[in-house]
Amino acid sequence: MRAAEGGRGQILLIAAGLVSILVLLEWYFNLDFSLGILYIFPVMLAATTLSRWQIVCAAAFCAYTRGLFTLDETPLEHMLRFCMATIAYSGCGLWIYQIADSRRMVLKHYSRLRFEQHMRRQAEEQLRLLAESSPAAILTVDSNGIILAANRAAETMLQPEGPLPGQEIRRYIGLFHDALQLPSGIGDISTSASAWARRGDGTSVPTTTWFSIYGEGNARHLAAIVVDMSNEVREREHAQFEQIVSHDRILASAVSHEIRNLCSAIFVVASNMERSSAIAGDPDFVALKNLAAGLRDLASVDLRKKARMKVSTVLLQELAEELRVIVGQDWIDIDGQFEWNVPDDLPAVRANRQGLIQTLLNLSQNSLRAIADQPHPRFIIDTSLHEGRVLLRVCDTGPGMKSAHQLFQPFRPESDGSGLGLYVSRALIESFGGELRFEPTETGCCFVITLLAEHNEDQLALADTAEEEQEHA
């Protein structure tokens, strides 16, 4: 800006100097002819920096200055010469102004184009580096299903026999070929899908894809991002298998415990019958006792120490966000409200993360079934710290429980499902040292989950000692 202002000042100074030289020449030499034609040059020079009205003023000044040295003219002739000179000077100055302005516009437009080209090249280079360095496969396919471009990850994932561009996408991901066959009248498409991709060697791989279809006719293209999900699927299936095995052990341990209780009750009744009746030596009675003893021995396999779930440190603040994602939408769908109030200073707990989520999910599903027809449904979890233990009060605004004395019994006939949900949930919580109990309330239904706080060193030591004794038993 300063350089432009300095150049403008120099041009105006030169123009003023030219006018001064012309005035001195006409005054000093008192020429017999007029130098009026030369006054065009300072006006044309100044027109490169002045605005339109300033050019007209400069032209009028030069025309007036020229008229001072013209003698033997009537006032009318002087006025006509002044007007004609002003028009001539102004026309020449405005013509130069327009040329200079057009030149400035062209240079400005050219500079903008150069800048845009530079930025475009930069963006293209960044996109190229991003695509080439991306661990996800990136593909572009034309309307005929021919691959136009593919990054290095796509070549690695699909392992083609040669360059991937130019080959048919149907050989590798049939979903994209089918998507391109959709009628163009439905407009642009942007979606995600899970599909199986086929490699060049014939093997298949599970993938998750995000793709969009755009354009019309021959210009219709598909752009896609493909991610190999083999490791995720493998880890998920292994985790599900381990979880199922762990839950089966917990269930078998809990059922065996109940069978042992029934067998103990049978032996008490049998002992009473031996003392008070004459069937003590009856072969059938003895066989019945042997069957009960065999059932007790079968149920005495200690599965609890094997079924004890892996315990880790769990932050309930993070778990609350995860559970909100899992069950929050279910309550939104019935115009309900889900709340989990967790204080920021609440310590972490010792628990199995998946087991705790399974228990809370089961309680949420039970509440959803019970509260479906109730006005203003709410599912609330209040969290508090009490004597080194963290309490989770899980409550809803449903009709409540009619009878709670058999609430945790398996295969309850009044249950909406299999009758094992609460039974297994309590076994899960107990498997990592917690407690699940029912808390009577005036309205709704409420359960309390008690977990050991991370900073409670005394309780942790007792829990570890009990676990070691149970493992060595």
State the distance between the two ends of the chain, measured CA to CA, in whole angstroms: 89
pLDDT of residue 83: 87
pLDDT of residue 1: 37
- From 262, 203, 190, select the one nearest 230 (Cα to Cα): 203
pLDDT of residue 141: 93
pLDDT of residue 258: 67
pLDDT of residue 310: 72
Query: Residue type at 372?
Result: A
pLDDT of residue 212: 93
φ and ψ at residue 32, rounded to 5 degrees: -80, -10
Average pLDDT, consecutive stretches of 10 residues, N- to C-terminus, the chain (473 residues) = 58 82 75 71 84 86 76 74 84 87 89 91 84 86 91 86 86 89 81 87 86 86 90 71 64 68 71 66 66 63 51 87 82 87 88 86 86 83 89 88 69 56 81 87 88 69 51 46
- From 387, 252, 368, select the one nearest 307 (Cα to Cα): 252
For residue 410, give the 3-state DSSP assignment.
Answer: coil
For residue 73, give the 3-state DSSP assignment.
Answer: coil
Using a CB cutoff of 8 Å and minimum separation of 24, what contacts does 439-442 make? Answer: 439/393, 440/404, 441/395, 441/400
Q: Are 380 and 439 in contact (CB under 8 A)?
A: no
Exposed (0-12), middle (13-18) or buried (19+): which is 409, by Cβ within 10 Å? middle
Structure letter (DSSP) for residue 309: P
Q: Are 62 and 19 in contact (CB under 8 A)?
A: yes
CATH 3.30.565.10 fits 312-472, yes or no: yes
pLDDT of residue 307: 47
pLDDT of residue 68: 73
DSSP secondary structure letters along 331-397: HHHTT-EEEEE--TTPPPEEE-HHHHHHHHHHHHHHHHHHHTTSSS-EEEEEEEEETTEEEEEEEE-
Q: Which CATH number fits domain 137-228: 3.40.50.300, 3.10.620.30, 3.20.10.10, 3.30.450.20?
A: 3.30.450.20
pLDDT of residue 251: 67
Exposed (0-12), middle (13-18) or buried (19+): which is 451, by Cβ within 10 Å? buried
